[in-house]
Amino acid sequence: MTAFLVLAIALVVLIMLAVLLPLRRTRTQTVATAADINVGIYRDQLRELDADLAAGTIDAAQHSEARADIERRLIEDAAVPSPAAAGTASGRWTVALLAVAIPAGTLALYLLTGTPEGLNPAAVKAPPPVTEAQITAMVDKLAARLKQKPDDNEGWIMLGRSYAILERFDDSAKAYAEAVKRVPGDARLLTDYADALAMAQGQNLAGEPEKLIARALAIDPANGKALALAGTAAFQNRQYAAAIGHWEKLLKGLPPDSEIARAVEESLSEARSQLTGKGGTPADSAAAKRKSTPAATVSGTVTLAPALKGRVKPDDTVFIFARAAKGPPAPLAVLRKRVADLPLTFTLDDSMAMAPGMTLSRFQSVVIGARISRSGQAMRQPGDLEGFSPETGNTARGITVVIADEVR
């Protein structure tokens, strides 16, 4: 605040100097010039009078009378304010008025159009957080605009990503499909489309997602996300050697000792263990070590808010899942139940993982969620009912999850 005031005052002073100094200098020069002209005229007249006396054109009496007349007029002119003198007085008032008006006007203009409260840090309030409803409204507005102007390539990509963030994977896949039609040679776009499509079909990469990943790798063999998904697809198909090849290539491009690198290393260890086990030999030492180490386990209860009991059916599906508090949104463990089972006690552990390396043991902090799906699909859909626990550890007990919110 102090720095702002000092700068503002300095600018006002500079403006005043720029305006007032030239005005002051002009007025002074005008007064001096008028006085000099008058004195010069009378001095010339006296010299001419002396010359006439010397030439004998006039006598002494005439010279004396004429000189007295010139001197009298000079005195009279000096007694009457000249226009320049009047201008000087006026100029002084002008300077004084401007000296007051410039800073006063500047202050008034700032108070009218500026933000004085911004000078007080305590008065500045943080903007309210954007709600999920507001995000959904913005995404729906984008979708409506694209119906009117479907040639907006970047708009379709943005819509696909936005739907993915909202976990509306069916809509995300459709938006990406439109984007891929318009930009078919983008490896990243093809990979994002494959990911959304796999999530929309229950985290299954078989079929079209695999084809999209293959296209992406043909364009960019070093694409990290495509390599990760290709390895997961191969692992799901029990093609462990292919999975190892993809993940080893991915690992080379990752920062050593990073969290994602450690996750890939665990996936590689699991794939190698499976590959070795197929030959009838014992699993490698890393797998044996993991088996001897107690797996992370979380447990607790899930209940349905009384206000929502009339909106569900006994056979509606309930998904109970854990996901990383700070990490990928994919579930680390999933349990499937029915509304008729509520309230229920649950336990989630590493054996319920959906993908190799993506386990409860990999993440120290997790969030437990429960969702009632009317369609029976694992993907989050508008109209589903859900609830979440606070962030907790991956060995927590007695967790309580209340299903009390509707997905919009």
User: Token pair 């995404």 is at which residue?
Assistant: 139
Percent of the chain with pLDDT over 70: 65
pLDDT of residue 29: 47
Give the pLDDT score at 181.
Answer: 92
pLDDT, residue 27, reads 46
Identify the pLDDT of residue 78: 53
What is the mean pLDDT of the segment spanning 379-384?
84
Confidence at residue 67, expressed as pLDDT on a 0 to 100 scale? 74
318, 337 Cβ separation under 8 angstroms: yes
pTM for this entry: 0.48
Tell whether the model's pLDDT for residue 383 goes beyond 80: yes
pLDDT tens track for 98-135: 556 666 666 666 655 556 555 555 555 556 666 667 78
Q: pLDDT tens across 38-94, in order?
A: 656 666 677 777 777 676 667 666 767 777 776 666 666 555 454 444 445 555 656
Task: Write down the domain spans for the chain.
Answer: 2-123, 132-291, 297-406
What per-residue confidence (pLDDT) applies to 399?
A: 95
Least confident range of 94-98, 164-168, 224-228: 94-98
Q: Among the CATH numbers 3.40.50.970, 1.25.40.10, 3.40.1380.20, 2.170.150.70, which is that of 132-291? A: 1.25.40.10
247-261 pLDDT tens trace: 899 888 888 777 778
